[in-house]
Chain A
Amino acid sequence: MKTPATAPWAKTAFGIDQTEDGYVIVKASRSGRGLVFTNIEPTALALATPSPQSVIVGCMLQRESFTRWVVASIASARKAESVFPSLLDIQLPFSVEDCEVALVETRPTSDRTGTRGWVVGARAVDVEKRLSTFASLGEEPHLLDQEGIALWTQSLEEVPPVTGGAELRIVVYQSSERVTLALGRNNEFMGAHTMRQLDEDQVHRILKSYFTTPPPATQWLITGPGATLAGDGISPLGSLAKRWPGTQKITREPNTFLARALAARALTPGVARCNLRTGRFLHATLAQRQAKRPFQWAAACLFAGLLLCAVNLAWLVMVTHRATDTQRALRALAIEITGSPLGIPAGQEVLTARRAIESQTKNMEPFLSATDTPLPKTLKTVLAVAHEEGLSLETMVLGRKNLVIHGTTPTWAQAEKASRRLNDNGWIATLERKDSPPGEERVAFVIGLGRSHEKK
């Protein structure tokens, strides 16, 4: 589960790994492709002018802080969070109220009936001492991370677990004055421990408390200013390498590993980000920033509200403008069609124009009929068909919309054929047989024709 960076607003972070030998400082800066790390001389940091967009990150050492998994038998994470302090209080040899505590992750238990919380903390007196130590060296960190968790998450970042790889991962941080172990199964943190020097039996006992029998493969990641991998075939881990067999690897730039972890965790979101400099220890800059937050939220809400108003008003103006434009265009067209701006009531432009065109069309009929009427052509076609099919026409009445032919034919089939041919000329023909006069051998018929479009 990803948690937000502890200083998401910062552009630069200085991670400080404080040992008895002095400082190891790494500067992390945001760039287009991620973070850029630069090793810094301690004097350079002291001389640097503090920028409002940079943070200094120290850490509580493992020996002066703690990490715990607490389990609440409540499925709701939010409700579980409220009981975690009580559960933690039971686990600690001192009161939780005397501690600075941060909950860095919650996850459901494997049977999903409860919630596990990953808690990190330090006693207030230790935080105070740590800050005093920094102050005596002329530094005042904005954030205080936790050593064990920082080592663990940075190892996941730099050496991601491989599917089917070692089940147990142990990060061993070595310096002249301490050895810190952060261990976990696959990518899940289990715990962190510290000691003055590498005590193989003590480490073995610690590991046995997690694993009764060693897993098939253990991944040892060695880091810190004192990290070495012996070239003479003798492992720096001594008998541990045999008792907990697996691969041994030294991390990239081991002397700056922890400082790099602290700087990276301040700038980027990821697993288990935390800051133990809270409450009364909160840095003045961060306190100021926190104090500004209500103003920033209020300003953001004001801006959102104004933006909402502006968008809606713009929409209203646009709708009105468009309606006016369309109305104006309709009126202009109506004036063009009717030829006068008079007598066009607002909103009735279409109706007025329609009536004007109806009136115009009626008046224009004599002009239109001269170009549209196909009567001469029809008359010629009828006479030609009658002649070719041997029809004798008695009378023929031809109007604009209909035609009636009375006549006789030698056979009914010829009348039918003539009717079909007229049909093909854009008419709807109906053929009707009539009684022939007495003594007449020819078949009398009536063909009625109507315009084909009138059928619809």
Chain B
Amino acid sequence: MKKNNTPLALLWSAAGISLLAGLLLTLRSVGDMSRTTEVWHKKANDMQEMNSLRAIAVQHRTLLKHYTGYPAVPTPLGELARTAAPGLNLMTRSTETHPTVPGWTARMVSVGLTDITGDDLGRLLDAATAANPPWALLECTVSAASTAGRLSKAELVFETVERQD
């Protein structure tokens, strides 16, 4: 009697097909491995950079929030000078404004001082830095006087921000 081998043949065929498919898929996976690793590496770097950028964005937001707590208009430099060093002769040379982040304007003021002491200049700078919002010193040119400890002339450039309410 002839043995019926059809089921076995079918089983072997299925096994062969599945093994071949498995082998092809494995070859594909192995072939793609270096590219996959490269992509993952790049994505990891991207994530790292994005997190750094996010930290900067958060820092900016925090700083803006901090400035929102200040008065909309800064205390004028003349007023600060009168309070910090009453004898100071402060002359405003120019005032410029330029837009900054939406809702805010940057104000740059150039002032001149004549015949002042180093201490008075220091007090003016302390008062400007401590103002709310602060005045930032951007440039400074001083010329010495013949008298020790005094300055014949000082040109200072300050910058601050104003809120547009």
Measured CB to CB, the residues of A under 8 A from B are: 294-295, 298-299, 301-302, 304-309, 312-313, 315-316, 319, 322-323, 326-327, 329-330, 333-334, 336-337, 349-350, 353-354, 356-357, 360-361, 363-371, 373, 375-376, 379-380, 383, 387, 392-400, 407
Which label, helix, strand, loop or mixed, suits the secondary structure of the B interface? helix
B1 contacts chain A at the CB level, 8 A cutoff: no
Is the CB–CB distance between B47 and A337 below 8 Å? no
Within 8 A of A (CB), among B95-147: 100-101, 104, 106, 118, 121-122, 125-126, 128-129, 133-144
- Contacts A307-B22, A308-B22, A363-B100 aside, 4 further interface pairs with beta carbons under 8 A come to A302-B15, A313-B25, A354-B49, A366-B160
Partner of A370, one of B28, B144, B160: B160
The contact of A333 among B50, B141, B160, by CB within 8 Å, is: B50
Could you tell me the distance in whole angstroms from the C-beta of A320 to the nearest C-beta in chain B?
10
| Interface flags, B1-38, vs A, CB<8A=1, else 0 | 00000011001101111111111011011000000100
* Minimal beta-carbon separation of A334 from chain B (angstroms): 7
Q: Chain B contacts of A295 at CB under 8 A?
A: 7-8, 11
Docked Cα-Cα span, A169 to B55, in Å, equals 84
Q: Which residues of A contact B143 (CB under 8 A)?
A: 394-396
Residues of A within 8 A of B140 (CB): 375, 379, 396-399
Complex CA gap A398/B140 in Å reads 5
Contacting pair A305 B134 (CB below 8 A): no
B46 touches A312 (CB 8 A): no
Known: A312-B25, A319-B36, A399-B138. A379 touches B19 (CB 8 A): no
Q: Which residues of B contact A398 (CB under 8 A)?
A: 139-142
Would you give the shortest CB distance from B13 to chain A, in whole angstroms?
Answer: 9
Query: For the complex, is B81 an interface residue (Cβ under 8 Å from A)?
Result: no
A sample of 29 inter-chain contacts (CB < 8 A) reads A295-B8, A298-B14, A298-B15, A301-B16, A302-B18, A307-B22, A309-B25, A313-B25, A322-B40, A333-B47, A333-B54, A336-B57, A354-B49, A354-B53, A357-B53, A360-B60, A366-B100, A366-B159, A367-B104, A373-B137, A375-B136, A376-B129, A376-B137, A383-B118, A395-B143, A396-B143, A397-B140, A400-B138, A400-B139
Task: Specify which chain B residues have a CB less than 8 angstroms from the CB of A361 in the assembled complex.
Answer: 56, 60
A329 — which chain B residues lie within 8 A by C-beta?
A: 47
**B138 engages A308 (CB within 8 Å):** no
Across the interface, do A299 and B11 meet the contact criterion of CB distance under 8 Å? yes
> Is there a chain A Cβ closer than 8 Å to B149's Cβ?
yes
C-alpha gap A185/B128 in the complex (Å)? 107
Chain A residues, CB < 8 A from B144: 392-396, 407
Bound Cα distance from A350 to B43, whole angstroms:
10
**CB contact between A337 and one of B20, B57, B126 (< 8 Å): that residue:** B57
Q: Is the CB of A305 within 8 A of B141?
A: no
User: Given the complex, which residues of B lie within 8 Å of A302, measured CB to CB?
Assistant: 11, 14-15, 18
* CA A322 to CA B41, docked complex, whole Å: 12
Neighbouring A residues of B100 by C-beta, 8 Å: 363-367
Residues of A within 8 A of B23 (CB): 308
Given the known A-B contacts A306-B22, A330-B46, A376-B126, are A370 and B12 also in contact in the complex, defined by CB atoms under 8 Å? Answer: no
Q: In the bound complex, do residue B57 and residue A360 qualify as a contact, i.e. CB atoms below 8 Å apart?
A: yes
Is A350 within 8 A of B11, CB to CB? Answer: no
Q: Write out the residue numbers on chain A whose beta carbons fall within 8 Å of the beta carbon of B104.
A: 366-367
Distance of A395 Cα from B64 Cα, bound (Å): 37
Chain A nearest Cβ from B78, distance in angstroms: 18
Q: Is the CB of A308 within 8 A of B8?
A: no
In this assembly, does B92 line the interface, its C-beta being within 8 Å of a C-beta of chain A? no
Are A370 and B60 interface neighbours, CB within 8 A?
no
Would you give the shortest CB distance from B32 to chain A, in whole angstroms? 8
Residues of A within 8 A of B7 (CB): 295
Q: Which of chain B's residues have a CB closer than 8 A to the CB of A334?
A: 50
B149 and A387 contacting across the interface, CB-CB below 8 Å: yes
| Contact indicator A309/B137 (Cβ below 8 Å) | no
Q: Give Cα A387 to B148, complex, Å.
A: 9
Proximity bits, B44-67, A CB within 8 Å = 1, else 0: 001101110110110010011001
Query: Counting CB contacts under 8 A, is B77 at the interface?
Result: no
Please tell me if the beta carbons of B64 and A367 are within 8 angstroms of each other in the complex.
Answer: yes
| Residues on A with beta carbons closer than 8 Å to the beta carbon of B148 | 392
Q: Which of the residues A322, A354, A399 comes within 8 Å of B139, measured between beta carbons?
A: A399
In the complex with contacts A308-B23, A370-B160, A353-B29 CB distance below 8 A = no
Once A353-B53, A373-B138 are accepted as A-B contacts, the answer to whether A312 and B28 lie under 8 Å apart by CB is yes
Q: Is the CB of B67 within 8 A of A305?
A: no
A305 contacts B17, C-beta separation under 8 Å: yes
**CB <8 Å contact, B149 and A393:** no
Question: Contact between A304 and B136 (Cβ–Cβ < 8 Å)?
Answer: no
B91 close to chain A: CB less than 8 A: no
- Does B73 belong to the interface (CB within 8 Å)? no
**Bound complex: CA of A323 vs CA of B17, how far in Å?**
30
